[in-house]
Chains A and B, each alone.
Chain A
Amino acid sequence: MRNYDIVIVGGGPAGLAAAVSARQSGIESIIILERDKELGGILNQCIHNGFGLHTFKEELTGPEYADRFIAQVRELKIEYKLNTMVLDIGQDKTVTAMNREDGMFEIQAKAVILAMGCRERPRGALNIPGYRPAGIYSAGTAQRLVNMEGYMPGREVVILGSGDIGLIMARRMTLEGAKVKVVAELMPYSGGLKRNIVQCLDDYGIPLKLSHTVVDITGKERVEGVTLAQVDEKNKPIPGTEEFYSCDTLLLSVGLIPENEISRGMGVTINPVTSGPKVNESLETNLEGVFACGNVLHVHDLVDFVSEEASAAGRNAAAYVKGTSVADAAPEAEICLNPTAGVRYTVPSTIRRARMEDNLTVRFRVGGVYKNCFVSVYFDDERVIHRKRQVLAPGEMEEVKLTKEQLLQYPKLEQITFKIEEE
Chain B
Amino acid sequence: MEVRNLICINCPMGCPLTVEMDGDEVVNVSGNTCKRGDTYGRKEVTNPTRIVTSTVKVTGGEADMVSVKTKQDIPKGKIFECVKALKDVEVQAPVHIGDVIVSDVAGTGVDIIATRNVLK
Contacts and interface: CB of A to CB of B under 8 A. Distances in A.
A/B touching: CB–CB < 8 A: yes
A150 B65 contact: yes
B67 interface: yes
Nearest to B10: A195
Interface in A389-403: 390-391, 396
B12 A61 contact: no
A139 interface: no
Interface string A56-74: 0001110110010000000
Given A67-B117, A194-B14, A175 B65 contact: no
B50 interface: yes
B53 A49 contact: yes
Contacts of B89: none
A274 interface: no
25 contacts: A44-B116, A47-B54, A47-B67, A47-B115, A49-B69, A60-B115, A61-B69, A64-B116, A67-B116, A146-B55, A147-B65, A148-B65, A149-B65, A150-B64, A175-B52, A175-B83, A194-B7, A194-B9, A195-B9, A195-B14, A198-B7, A199-B9, A390-B13, A391-B13, A391-B14
B8 interface: yes
Contacts of A60: 115
A305 B56 CA distance: 30
Contacts of A149: 64-65
List the 5 shortest-distance A-B pairs measured between CB atoms, nearest first. Answer: A194-B14, A195-B9, A63-B116, A47-B67, A61-B115
B3 interface: no
Nearest to B51: A49
A339 B44 CA distance: 39
Contacts of B52: 175
Contacts of B80: 175
A47 B14 contact: no
A48 interface: yes
A193 interface: yes
Contacts, number: 76
A47 B55 contact: yes
A149 B64 CA distance: 6
A211 B6 CA distance: 22
A63 B54 contact: no
Given A203-B76, A390-B33, A148 B63 contact: yes
Given A176-B54, A194-B13, 19 more contacts: A47-B116, A49-B53, A59-B51, A61-B53, A61-B69, A67-B116, A146-B55, A147-B67, A148-B63, A148-B65, A150-B64, A193-B14, A195-B9, A197-B7, A198-B6, A199-B9, A203-B76, A301-B12, A390-B15
B63 to A, nearest CB: 7
Interface string A182-194: 0000000000011
Contacts of A67: 97, 116-117
Interface of B: 6-10, 12-15, 33, 50-55, 57, 63-65, 67, 69, 76, 79-80, 83, 97, 115-117
A380 B63 CA distance: 56
B69 to A, nearest CB: 6
Nearest to A197: B7
Contacts of A63: 67, 97, 115-116
Contacts of A195: 9-10, 14
A198 B8 CA distance: 9
A25 B30 CA distance: 47
A60 B116 CA distance: 11
B102 to A, nearest CB: 15
Contacts of A390: 13, 15, 33
B97 A64 contact: yes
A210 to B, nearest CB: 15
B56 to A, nearest CB: 9
Nearest to B12: A396
Contacts of B55: 47, 146-147, 150, 176
A48 B55 CA distance: 10
A97 B79 CA distance: 45
A423 B69 CA distance: 45
A25 to B, nearest CB: 28
